Structure 1
Amino acid sequence: MCKFFPVHSQLYMGRGRALYCGPLQHLEAHVYGATVLHVGIYQPFRIRLDDGAWRSCRCALVPPGIRHALDMAGGVHGKLFVERDGPDAPAFRERFPYTATAVSFFEDVEAIACFHRIHEEDPGHAIVEQYVDKLLNSRTQIISEFDPRIQRVIELICGEPDRNFSQIELAALINLSPSRFLHLFRQHTGVSYRRFRSWKRMMTAFELLHTGDNMTRAALDAGFADATHFSHSFRETFGVNPAPVFRRIDRFEVDKD
């Protein structure tokens, strides 16, 4: 079968968001801890929610916590993850309106062109940031309504990813009951505390893997019990095993500014 598009893969991380472009086949049912914009860069892809029917589309926006499977049939897929506690969350939601419990299917010419340009040009991280900023109109300041108490908890668990803070401990820290804390946390992040913590650990592991190139070491330092725990969590989150993914990434850049 002839391919008329580049087959390299790219991963860019920074500022509470991550962007991936690359050829994929099938991803088993998985659940992200961040909102994701899926884009078929050259052709439509198929998506299935829970155990429902497959649906073909060019773009899909999936809020955090919604289980779905993907079938790209060898096409090039683009993903833009935007964390709901990150600086781009308000602009992202204004650019791509969505509800917290439903997947949106659509075709966005500007989004497709943005991913197409990134994949074709294979630019450095700074240029990618410019393209995504333009897509989201991130330079327009939008006031975030993220609860500062939950933000404090997130900063704490990100600062010490290898520590297992209990729900009771965190609730007491911000003067809430455990049940109220868990409700408020899910309300603002879209997922449970445990799933969100696992997502943040996963992002930390990616950054450590970028600098150290040792998957087991990165997993341990990010708070996973061992390499098996990391692999299991990765598959639950992304629908595929981690080793083949990182072996095939041609460009991997992280911006911590």
Structure 2
Amino acid sequence: MDETGPASGHLMLITPERVFYAGLLGRPRARCSGAFHVYVAIRDGLWLSSADGREAYGELLAVAPNVRHTVTSDHRSVICVTVEPESVSPGALDELMTRLLGEQRELYARRIRAAYDELRSRACRGDITSSAFDRMCFDEALPRRRLDARVARAIAQIGRFSGEPVTATSCANEAGLSASRFLHLFKQETGISFRSFRAWKRARHLLHFANQDLNLAHLAQDIGYPDSTHFSHSIRRFYGLKPRAIFSGSRDLAIYHSGRIEGSDSGLTQEAG
């Protein structure tokens, strides 16, 4: 959808490797996402408490992937920018966090708010690549990670969300490796286990449907959860909210999809729903 967003100003741009969200924060419990998070206050400030011992307050906060944390806001809405860690070179997110939380923190906060204003007024959002997204939010493109082709193919399979569930065994067979060797290679290349990576991507895929009126039990099955209990527990772990709370708070959320990804033969991702 390319029309102007809703009067609320709430929007989400989902790309294969990035998400830009501006909307309700809700009242979450601790969350533990698989992505790198940058939170920016739309107004006033934000509070952060994390499992690695950080306590912080400010207009911009950043959290590394797979760190359990809680964010609260003085204002009911917030901007959240996420970066998928397997898409950038090792160490790049650590360097980005240092810059974001350094002397230019206010400048980055203003830039991300300006990106929000641009997305609200932009006529077309479907052509935004990861590099364009990064320049819009961080003033530079983050260096891309070079993945082993066998791992890259497995990641693409996980992102399709169609047909039979993707397993380590099926990916190993396609790669011509034993299951144990494939699992070792996958973690070596991405920095995370295959099982944890797949669980996060499954939960991330939920975002594509957050503003739709759907039967959640059917959605859980379509995404690949064995039952509603696993679905609810997984979503609460990653987002700090029950699935129903996410859908309830997203009724006025405009969701845009960009399938552009650098390095793809077709220029399209398999993920968009």
Into which bin does the TM-score normalised by the smaller protein fall? 0.7 to 0.9
**Alignment partners' CA distance in 1, 2:59 and 2:187:** 29
Residues 61 and 185 (structure 1 numbering): CA distance in 2 closer, same or farther, change over 3 Å?
farther
Aligned pairs for 1:97-246 within 5 A? 97-98=95-96, 105-106=101-102, 108-119=105-116, 122-124=120-122, 126=124, 129=128, 132-137=134-139, 142=143, 144-160=145-161, 163-208=164-209, 213-246=214-247
Aligned pairs for 1:19-168 within 5 A? 19-50=20-51, 52=53, 54-86=55-87, 89=88, 93=92, 97-98=95-96, 105-106=101-102, 108-119=105-116, 122-124=120-122, 126=124, 129=128, 132-137=134-139, 142=143, 144-160=145-161, 163-168=164-169
CA deviation after TM superposition for structure 1 residue 161, in Å:
5.2
Question: What TM-score do the two structures reach when normalised by structure 2?
Answer: 0.71
Task: Name the aligned partner's letter for residue 253 of structure 1.
Answer: Y
**Alignment partners' CA distance in 1, 2:72 and 2:142:** 36
Number of matched residues? 245
CA deviation after TM superposition for structure 1 residue 182, in Å:
3.1
Residues 134 and 150 (structure 1 numbering): CA distance in 2 closer, same or farther, change over 3 Å?
same
- CA offsets 1:213-243 (integer angstroms, 9 cap, x no match): 4433332211122333322211111111222
**Is the partner of 2:124 in helix, strand or coil?**
helix
Residues 190 and 9 (structure 1 numbering): CA distance in 2 closer, same or farther, change over 3 Å?
farther
Residue range with higher mean Cα deviation, 198-207 or 172-181: 172-181
Q: Is the 8 A contact 1:44 1:58 kept in 2?
A: yes
CA deviation after TM superposition for structure 1 residue 118, in Å:
4.7
> Please, which runs of 5 or more residues in structure 1 have no aligned partner?
1-5
Task: Name the aligned partner's letter for residue 242 of structure 1.
Answer: P
**Is the partner of 1:218 in helix, strand or coil?**
helix
CA deviation after TM superposition for structure 1 residue 25, in Å:
4.9
**Alignment partners' CA distance in 2, 1:49 and 1:125:** 38
**Alignment partners' CA distance in 1, 2:184 and 2:159:** 20
> Please, which runs of 5 or more residues in structure 2 have no aligned partner?
1-6, 261-273
Residues 244 and 34 (structure 1 numbering): CA distance in 2 closer, same or farther, change over 3 Å?
same
CA deviation after TM superposition for structure 1 residue 171, in Å:
3.4
Residues 148 and 124 (structure 1 numbering): CA distance in 2 closer, same or farther, change over 3 Å?
same
Residues 8 and 242 (structure 1 numbering): CA distance in 2 closer, same or farther, change over 3 Å?
farther
Q: Is the 8 A contact 1:7 1:23 kept in 2?
A: no
Residue range with higher mean Cα deviation, 105-114 or 222-231: 105-114
- CA offsets 1:175-199 (integer angstroms, 9 cap, x no match): 4454443343234334322221122
More strand by share: 1
Q: Is the 8 A contact 1:30 1:238 kept in 2?
A: yes
Task: Name the aligned partner's letter for residue 255 of structure 1.
Answer: S
Residues 163 and 105 (structure 1 numbering): CA distance in 2 closer, same or farther, change over 3 Å?
farther
Query: Equivalent pairs: percent with the same residue?
Result: 24
CA deviation after TM superposition for structure 1 residue 149, in Å:
2.0
**Is the partner of 1:116 in helix, strand or coil?**
helix
Residues 214 and 16 (structure 1 numbering): CA distance in 2 closer, same or farther, change over 3 Å?
farther
